[in-house]
Amino acid sequence: MSIAWDNARLRANPGYRAVAWNRLESEAGSALAREADSFGVLIPQEGFDLPIVAVDRDTALLFLSLQEPGPAPDFMFATSQGDADPILRRLLFDSILELEQAGRFVSGAEACSLFSVERGAACGNLAKLSIDALSYGAALANVNATTLAQKLYNYNRRPSTPVLRRLLPDRVACLAFLRLDRGSNGRGVLDGFWSRGDDNSPWLAFTRHNPRGNGQGNRTNSMSALRLRNCPSLCHPLSGSLAATEPCNSRSAPTSTGCSVPTS
pLDDT at 153: 86
Which parts of the chain have pLDDT scores under 70? 1-2, 25-34, 79-82, 116-123, 197-202, 210-227, 236, 239-264
pLDDT at res. 175: 83
Q: What is the DSSP string of the chain?
A: ----TTT--EEE-TTEEEEEGGGS-HHHHHTS---TTEEEEEEEPTT-----EEEEHHHHHHHHHTSS-BSPPGGGGSS-HHHHHHHHHHHHHTTSEEEEETTEEE-HHHHHHHTT-SGGG--SHHHHHHHHHHHHHHH--S--HHHHHHHHHTTTPPPP-HHHHHH--SHHHHHHHTT-STTSHHHHHHHHHEEE---SSSSEEEEESSPPP-SSS----EEEEE-GGGHHHHHHHHHHHHHTSS--EEEEEE-SS-EEEEE-
Predicted confidence at residue 221, as pLDDT, reads: 46
Q: Are 226 and 259 in contact (CB under 8 A)?
A: yes
Question: Which tens digits make up the pLDDT trace of 112-168?
Answer: 777 766 555 556 777 888 888 888 888 887 788 788 888 998 888 877 788 888 888
